Amino acid sequence: TATANAATTVERPTFSFELYPPRTVAAEETLLASLEHLVAAGPEFISVTYGANGSSRSSSLSVLLRLLAETDIKAMAHLTCVGSSYADATRLIREFLDAGVTSFLALRGDPPAGAAEGDRFLGDLGSAGELVQLIHRVQAEREQFSLNDVPGFPGAKRLSSGHKVTIAVAAFPNGHPRSRSVEQDLDTLLAKEAAGANLAITQLFFHADDYLRFVDQARAAGVTMCILPGIMPVLSPQRLRRIVELTDEKLPTDLLRALEAQESPEGQRAVGIAHAIELGRAVIGTDDVGFGRPGLHLYTFNQHEAVLEVLRGTELLSVTTNHN
């Protein structure tokens, strides 16, 4: 009978994925194939990078639009301060809101190609906190405008439309590379929350203690928003070196040695996945005192196999049971 095959979903901490906009037709095909599997896993949201690695506003928006049109998964748009005038940034936020995006990850942004840290590459907005404020302002103005348009609400004050905007920001368990101290990182995070951020997503990290210590410090400093741990399964020593170069994180020599000790790509892959599962198990649900139960935010590299293995290994994927 139908009930005999009913699926039982065990409530668990949530998980989410990060994608980047593909830059070639072949990369787009790979992404589409993976997207189907990622969506089927039922993530809380899928975020799409912007600006990093030269991706453009239109390529980021087209992935977001696809998610909105073809799935019921929440699409989170990364936005940055790089190169935009105040007017450009305002227009861009309106464009995303008009497209139906109600979740943002507000970032200062990586230096664009040809620029380096320390160069002047930002526009009118100087930090992620200012972008958070601008998103709130644009959203509030838009909401008021639409209410004024409704017959029977002439000049109505802004009322809550029930569409809460999620504004996430970046957090750095091992410190932002430009930061002078842990206190500066914590002050920056607090400033972003004060500006209106309601979720923090961490830079990738390789040891559970990095995250656990950071969350303790953030709570002691007064940060109350959920701090979602960001994890990337790293499947080869080359990939690990490249990621460390891109993020300026410290090279985890223990993981590097374990990957290098393997002779085959399959062996390296197994080590990378086992490492991510162990890391995930140690951090999932640890930041749950009154802040919801954050699971994992997984950096996918636009591929589904490894991250789904990590979700199964950490038991974050819903278990479907047949009752017979």
Is residue 191 within the footprint of ligand FAD (CB under 6 A)?
yes
Is residue 281 within the footprint of ligand FAD (CB under 6 A)?
no
Is residue 139 within the footprint of ligand FAD (CB under 6 A)?
no
DSSP one-letter code for 204: P
Is residue 304 within the footprint of ligand FAD (CB under 6 A)?
no
Phi, psi of 107 (to 5 degrees): -130, 155
At 218, list the tokens. 């953030």
Is residue 176 within the footprint of ligand FAD (CB under 6 A)?
yes
User: Alpha helix (H) ranges present in 19-127?
Assistant: 25-40, 57-70, 86-98
Residue among 41, 64, 67, 128 that touches ligand FAD (CB under 6 A): 128
Is residue 203 within the footprint of ligand FAD (CB under 6 A)?
yes
Interatomic CA distance for residues 125 and 85, integer angstroms: 7
Sequential DSSP letters for 218-286: HHHHT--SEEEPEE----SHHHHHHHHHHHTPPP-HHHHHHHHT-SSHHHHHHHHHHHHHHHHHHHTTT
Residue among 230, 233, 237, 280 that touches ligand FAD (CB under 6 A): 230
Residue among 93, 108, 197, 302 that touches ligand FAD (CB under 6 A): 108
15-19 and 103-107: which strand pairing? unpaired
In sequence order, the β-bridge partners of residue 79 are 106
Select the span of 50-58, 90-98, 271-279, 283-291 touching ligand FAD (CB under 6 A): 50-58
Residue among 13, 21, 43, 129 that touches ligand FAD (CB under 6 A): 129
Interatomic CA distance for residues 41 and 319, integer angstroms: 11
Is residue 22 within the footprint of ligand FAD (CB under 6 A)?
no
Residue among 14, 80, 139, 174 that touches ligand FAD (CB under 6 A): 80
Residue among 170, 215, 273, 279 that touches ligand FAD (CB under 6 A): 170
Interatomic CA distance for residues 16 and 69, integer angstroms: 19
Is residue 300 within the footprint of ligand FAD (CB under 6 A)?
no
Interatomic CA distance for residues 37 and 141, integer angstroms: 37
Is residue 52 within the footprint of ligand FAD (CB under 6 A)?
yes
Is residue 59 within the footprint of ligand FAD (CB under 6 A)?
no
Is residue 17 within the footprint of ligand FAD (CB under 6 A)?
no
CB of 287 to ligand FAD, least distance (A): 16
Is residue 195 within the footprint of ligand FAD (CB under 6 A)?
no
Interatomic CA distance for residues 261 and 267, integer angstroms: 9
Is residue 16 within the footprint of ligand FAD (CB under 6 A)?
no
CB of 50 to ligand FAD, least distance (A): 5
- Give Cβ neighbours of residue 278 (< 8 Å, ≥ 6 apart): none
Active site residue 245: no
At 195, list the tokens. 């500006």
Q: How many residues sit close enough to ligand FAD to count as binding (CB under 6 A)?
A: 27
Residue among 14, 16, 49, 103 that touches ligand FAD (CB under 6 A): 49
Interatomic CA distance for residues 238 and 230, integer angstroms: 20
Q: Which is nearer to ligand FAD, 233 or 271 (CB)?
A: 233
Is residue 295 within the footprint of ligand FAD (CB under 6 A)?
no
How many other C-beta atoms lie within 10 A of the C-beta of residue 263? 8
Residues binding ligand FAD (CB under 6 A): 49-52, 78, 80, 105, 107-110, 127-129, 170, 176, 178-179, 184-185, 187-188, 191-192, 201, 203, 230
Q: Which residues are catalytic?
A: 18
